[in-house]
C-alpha cells in the first residue's frame, strides 16, 4: 500500500514532536515537517523532509505537494501572544489562513479530499470573573465563546475559517466517492503535560513546569493561585485524540470542533501530588496578575460528550493513571530520581 503524505507544521513544538513519533510508530506515512527551528534529534530521522522557516513565506513550497492530511500545529501560545500580539496574529491567523487556502485549492483543483487537523484550545472560552467560572462548571462547545486573549481570539477565528473553507470549497465534488473537500476537524485541547518536553509561552505551563522542577529538585514559584483550576491531559492522550479524529469517517462527525477532557485539578493538587512523589520539592505560589487573569477566564472543565459519542473518544489517563502509569515512571527515568 502506498504511503499517505502528511504535513506537520510546528513539528518542533511539544505536540509536534510527540505526533511525529506517533505517526512514525504507526507507519504508512511520508512525514513532511515544517517549523521555524531545525528539527530536534529525537525526530530528525522520522521526517522525510523538513522545511525550515516562517510558514507564511514558505507556503509556496507546499503547493507542489500532494498532502492527504495536514496537522497545522504551529502557533504562538497564550502568554507569549499577549506580549507580542501582532506577531501572534500573524503566526496564528495568517499562517492558518495560508494553509487552509492551500488545502482548499488542492481539494478543489485535484478533486481530492484533504484532511485538515487543527489544535484549538480551552482558550476560546472566556468567563468574565471567578464567580461566573465556578457557576459555569463544565462547558460545552457552544458555551462562552468569548475569549479574553489574542491567542483565544485567534483560535476561535481559525475554527470558523476552517469551517468556512470546508463548507464553500470543493462542494461541487461532494457526490464523488469518497467526497472531495477540505475536511476541517478541530480539537479544543486542555493544558497538555509531557514527561519528555516542556511547554513554552503557554499559560497552562505552570502544571508541567511545577512537576518537572520537583523531579529535578529545583525550586518552583507557581505563577497562579493554589485554587486555580482548569483541565489537563497527558500528551499520549492528546496524540491519541488527533489520530482518532483523523481516522474517523466524515459521516460520523456531527461537528467540526470537539472538546476533549481528561482531568481537571487545581494548582494545589499538582503541588500535593508533586510533594507525594518528591518530598523535598520546594513549591511556592507567586501569582502573576496577567497570567492569573488568563486562566481565571478559562473554564474549570469541559464537556467532551460529543467527542465520546461521535468518535468514541475516551482518555487513557485519568489523574491517578497520569501520575502513576505515565508521568512519574517516565520522569524518574529521565531525571534519574
Comparing CB distances to ligand AKB, the nearer of 71 and 189 is 189
- Rounded to a whole number of angstroms, the minimum distance from the CB of residue 119 to ligand AKB is 8
Distances (CA, A) of 135 to 127, 231, 301: 10, 16, 11
CA distances from 222 to 210, 253, 263, 288 (A): 7, 39, 19, 9
Residue nearest to ligand AKB (CB): 202
* Distance between CA atoms of residues 187 and 258, nearest Å: 5
User: Nearest distance from residue 202's CB to ligand AKB, in Å?
Assistant: 3
Taking the least distance from each CB to ligand AKB, the nearer of 17 and 203 is: 203
What's the min distance (Å) between Cβ of 112 and ligand AKB? 31
Q: Which is nearer to ligand AKB, 61 or 85 (CB)?
A: 85
Tell me whether residue 166 or residue 202 sits nearer to ligand AKB (CB atom).
Answer: 202
Q: How far is the CB of 78 from ligand AKB (least distance, A)?
A: 3
Indicate the DSSP class of residue 5.
Answer: E
Shorter beta-carbon distance to ligand AKB: residue 123 or 331? 123
Interface ranges with ligand AKB (CB under 6 A): 77-78, 121-123, 151, 189, 191, 202-204
In whole angstroms, give the CA distance from residue 3 to residue 175. Answer: 25
- Nearest Cα neighbor of 226 from 313, 178, 286 is 286
Question: What secondary structure letter does DSSP report for 141?
Answer: T
Query: 31 or 127, CB closer to ligand AKB?
Result: 127
Instruction: Provide φ and ψ at 254, rounded to 5°.
Output: -95, -5
Whether the CA torsion 137, 138, 143, 147 is positive or negative: it is: positive
Tell the smallest beta-carbon distance from residue 313 to ligand AKB (Å).
Answer: 18
Q: Is the peptide bond before 125 cis (omega within 30 degrees of 0)?
A: no
CA dist 73 and 11 (Å) reads 7
Cβ at position 157, least distance to ligand AKB in Å = 15
Spatial contact of 210 and 222, defined as CB atoms under 8 Å apart: yes
Min dist CB 326 to ligand AKB, Å, is: 18
DSSP 297: T
Q: Nearest approach, Cβ of 58 to ligand AKB (angstroms)?
A: 24
DSSP one-letter string for 221-276: EESS-TT-EEEEEEHHHHHHHHHHHHHS-GGG-S-SEEE--SEEEEHHHHHHHHHH
- Which burial class, exposed, middle or buried, applies to 4 when counting CB atoms under 10 A from its CB (0-12, 13-18, 19+)? middle
Q: Which is nearer to ligand AKB, 113 or 294 (CB)?
A: 294
Pick between residue 47 and residue 78 the one whose CB is nearest to ligand AKB. Answer: 78
Amino acid at each position: 500500500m502506498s504511503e499517505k503524505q502528511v504535513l506537520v507544521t510546528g513539528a518542533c513544538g511539544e505536540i509536534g514532536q510527540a505526533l511525529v513519533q506517533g505517526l512514525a510508530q504507526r507507519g504508512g506515512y511520508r512525514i513532511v515537517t515544517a517549523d521555524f527551528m531545525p528539527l530536534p534529534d529525537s525526530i530528525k530521522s522520522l521526517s522525510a523532509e523538513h522545511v525550515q522557516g516562517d510558514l507564511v513565506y514558505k507556503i509556496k513550497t507546499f503547493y507542489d505537494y500532494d498532502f492527504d492530511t495536514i496537522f497545522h500545529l504551529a502557533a504562538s501560545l497564550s502568554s507569549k501572544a499577549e506580549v507580542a500580539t501582532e506577531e501572534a496574529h500573524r503566526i496564528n491567523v495568517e499562517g492558518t489562513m495560508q494553509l487552509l487556502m492551500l488545502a482548499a485549492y488542492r481539494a478543489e483543483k485535484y478533486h481530492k479530499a484533504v484532511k485538515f487537523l487543527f489544535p484549538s484550545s480551552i482558550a476560546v472560552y472566556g468567563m468574565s470573573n471567578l464567580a461566573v467560572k465556578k457557576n459555569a462548571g463544565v462547558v460545552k462547545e457552544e458555551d462562552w465563546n468569548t475569549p479574553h486573549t489574542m491567542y483565544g481570539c485567534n483560535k476561535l477565528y481559525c475554527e470558523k475559517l476552517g469551517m468556512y473553507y470546508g463548507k464553500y470549497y470543493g462542494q461541487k465534488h461532494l457526490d464523488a466517492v469518497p467526497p472531495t473537500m477540505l475536511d476541517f476537524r478541530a480539537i479544543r485541547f486542555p493544558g497538555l503535560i509531557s514527561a519528555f518536553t516542556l511547554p513554552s509561552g503557554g499559560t497552562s505551563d505552570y502544571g508541567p513546569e511545577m512537576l518537572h522542577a520537583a523531579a529535578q529538585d529545583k525550586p518552583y514559584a507557581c505563577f497562579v493561585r493554589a485554587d486555580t483550576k482548569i483541565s489537563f491531559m497527558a500528551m499520549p492522550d492528546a496524540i491519541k485524540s488527533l489520530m482518532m479524529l483523523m481516522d474517523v469517517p466524515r459521516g460520523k462527525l456531527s461537528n467540526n470542533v470537539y472538546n476533549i477532557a481528561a482531568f481537571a485539578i487545581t494548582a494545589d493538587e499538582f503541588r500535593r501530588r508533586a510533594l507525594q512523589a518528591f518530598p523535598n520539592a520546594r513549591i511556592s505560589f507567586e501569582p502573576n496578575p496577567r497570567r492569573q487573569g488568563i486562566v481565571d477566564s478559562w473554564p474549570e472543565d469541559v464537556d467532551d460528550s460529543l467527542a465520546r459519542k461521535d468518535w468514541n473518544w475516551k482518555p487513557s489517563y485519568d489523574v491517578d493513571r497520569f501520575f502513576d502509569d505515565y508521568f512519574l515512571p517516565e520522569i524518574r527515568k529521565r531525571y534519574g530520581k
